[in-house]
Structure 1
Amino acid sequence: MKTIHLAIISLLLISSKGLGQSTSPTILTSYPLSVTHQKTTTLIFPYAIKSVDRGSQDILAQKASGVENVLWIKAAQKQMEQTNLTVITTDGNVYSYLVNYAPNPTVLMLSYPASNKLSEKVHFSEMHSTQAQLKSTCQQILTRKQLFHRKKDRRFGISLHLEGIYIQGEVLYCRIRLHNQTAINYTMDQLRFSIHDQKQAKRTATQEQELSPIYIYSWADSTETIKAHSEQTWVIALDKFTIPDQKYVLIESSEKNGGRHLHLRIKNRTLVKAIPIAN
């Protein structure tokens, strides 16, 4: 009888030891990253950026306009507290950073190889279309007729047009055109999508949700500069979404080192008019 009890205790110890080994997490090291408020740090990834999470508002993070795999980082103020930054790319890699303030960072540009062993893989719950499929759909949308003629903002000789909204599976596509009618080149700083409240109560914080494109396409080789008396058209792919009546989508085009900024407000009744694209 004593022998049986000892055998059971031994089995329990072995089982608990094996369980502890199988469930113990892997500890990963974050990249050290120094930023300042007067210079921009550039991160170049081998694949398109899917999502960005900032540990605090003390750091500014923005995807480069017209580029899918480049992220610009800058401190929002001097002597910021230590924080973190997490970036996930479309190949499933996760990049984690421990961000500190430095008046003069020694490194302002980091580029990662495609076979990066220092990042961790994740698995998306719903896989997007491949880059080739997204590109093919965008090319098809660019050949279609313009759907909307009144969704535009015009000022300073620059006009921003929303020409159409399309849907294919879990991806929403927006066709955007910017027309430069002046003799001065327009260099785009960013083309930004975000969701806002229609009405904001007094003494409340601004509610804003940024929408990160999963793919951006244009016929032109250069998507940042719209030369004098010319125009540029993009198709921007986003995760499928709708919004309640109390909110709107804000599309913003801002000029780099300039003041010609334009914006469009899109309500849900426009979003639900999206035209389906066959697979």
Structure 2
Amino acid sequence: MKSIFITLGLLLMVTAQANNPKSLDTIYANEHMNMALFFPSQIKQGIVGNSNFVFTYNREKQQPLGLLKAVPGKDSNLLVITNDGSIYSYIISYSKNLEYPNRFITEQERIGTERQGMERTSQKEVPSETVRDSSISVKKVREKLHESCEALLQLPERKNIKKKRQGLSLTVKNLYTMRSEVYIQFEVNNSSGSRFDFGELELFKISGKKGQKASFQELEMLPIYKHNTPKKIDHGQSVSFVYVFTKIHLDKGEKLRVALSEHDTTRMVSLFFR
């Protein structure tokens, strides 16, 4: 009931400010890929209209990155408020295929602000060329990430942190920080005697000790790009791939945990590293 009142309040606030209403863009998502949305400012609040869509963002340490996922169902809407008071609204829809699983949101796309007295620069019409240029910039960013990942795979190994379980070996081979991104190279070796169907590789930031419930925290770090991720790994095969994350800051006593699981089985291997 509380979430309904919050949503209604936000919608009323947006309606009051939308003196020049415009049609909303549609953002597509599915259950297989993360649709990464990069906003001009850190996300303060994000709301979706129904349960077949999930929008996740870092509530502990606000970041401009939000991830949208969906399962088949009716279209809905996404409402996002950022730290600078900007309000963004989109139609969200399920699609089996995503041409570009990344989108960089511009300030011109906002529909209003939290404070009515704030000067609005978004009332100008956005020319179609801007949309085309935005798509090109996303493509260039993906190309940059692809090239950086390829270069990382050619570099000498700086780390060799390994954990083996049930015939599966998970290794962290390299970790590089470049500007605002962290590139982590993983290697999986399968000597289990059967094929391994790649499920999920998840990265968590750990603080405190698990036995101390009051101080223990495990925060999932969501990737912004994946490179060479395999669908399956045959027996006797080793595969190297790279995940890219936004810059991760580790305080004293904090560490990272990576967990690799198999699709539709209970096989899993995880390790801790810094």
Matching residue of 1:77 = none
Matching residue of 2:171 = 161
Q: 1:85 to 1:196 in 2, by over 3 A?
A: farther
Scaled by the length of structure 1, the TM-score of the pair is 0.55
Matching residue of 1:35 = none
More RCO (CA 8 Å, sep 6+): 1
Structure of larger gyration radius: 1
Give per-residue Cα distances to partners, 1:29-48, cap 9 Å, x unaligned.
798xxxxxxxxx93578x95
Matching residue of 2:221 = 211
Contact 2:208 2:217 in 1 (8 A): no
| Residue type at the aligned position of 2:162 | K
| Residue type at the aligned position of 2:204 | S
Contact 2:48 2:55 in 1 (8 A): no
Matched, 1:140 2:128: no
Matching residue of 1:274 = none
Matching residue of 1:243 = 250
Contact 1:173 1:237 in 2 (8 A): yes
Deviation at 1:207, TM superposition (A): 2.9
Q: 1:203 to 1:156 in 2, by over 3 A?
A: closer
Q: Tell me the C-alpha RMSD between the 2 structures.
A: 4.7
Contact 1:50 1:212 in 2 (8 A): no
Matching residue of 1:131 = 142
| Whole-angstrom CA distance in 2 between matches of 1:202 and 1:110 | 43
Matched, 1:180 2:190: yes
Deviation at 1:61, TM superposition (A): 5.1
Deviation at 1:224, TM superposition (A): 1.8
| Whole-angstrom CA distance in 2 between matches of 1:152 and 1:138 | 21
Contact 1:43 1:111 in 2 (8 A): no
Contact 1:95 1:120 in 2 (8 A): no
Matching residue of 2:269 = 262
Listed as ranges, the gaps of 5+ residues in structure 2 are 1-15, 57-66, 81-87, 109-136
| Residue type at the aligned position of 2:265 | G
Deviation at 1:141, TM superposition (A): 0.7
Q: 1:49 to 1:169 in 2, by over 3 A?
A: same
Contact 2:77 2:90 in 1 (8 A): no
| Residue type at the aligned position of 2:233 | I
Q: 1:156 to 1:200 in 2, by over 3 A?
A: closer
Deviation at 1:238, TM superposition (A): 1.1
Deviation at 1:193, TM superposition (A): 1.2
Matching residue of 1:49 = 36
Deviation at 1:187, TM superposition (A): 0.9
Secondary structure at the counterpart of residue 209 of structure 2: coil
Q: 1:254 to 1:245 in 2, by over 3 A?
A: same
Scaled by the length of structure 2, the TM-score of the pair is 0.56
| Whole-angstrom CA distance in 2 between matches of 1:133 and 1:186 | 30
Q: 1:123 to 1:230 in 2, by over 3 A?
A: farther
Deviation at 1:215, TM superposition (A): 1.4
Q: 1:112 to 1:178 in 2, by over 3 A?
A: closer
| Whole-angstrom CA distance in 2 between matches of 1:94 and 1:134 | 28
| Whole-angstrom CA distance in 2 between matches of 1:228 and 1:163 | 21
Deviation at 1:196, TM superposition (A): 2.1
Give per-residue Cα distances to partners, 1:73-111, cap 9 Å, x unaligned.
49xxxxxxxx98679xxxxx975559xxxxxxxxx8555
Matching residue of 2:117 = none
Secondary structure at the counterpart of residue 175 of structure 2: strand
Matched, 1:152 2:136: no
Listed as ranges, the gaps of 5+ residues in structure 1 are 1-20, 32-40, 64-68, 75-82, 88-92, 99-107, 268-279
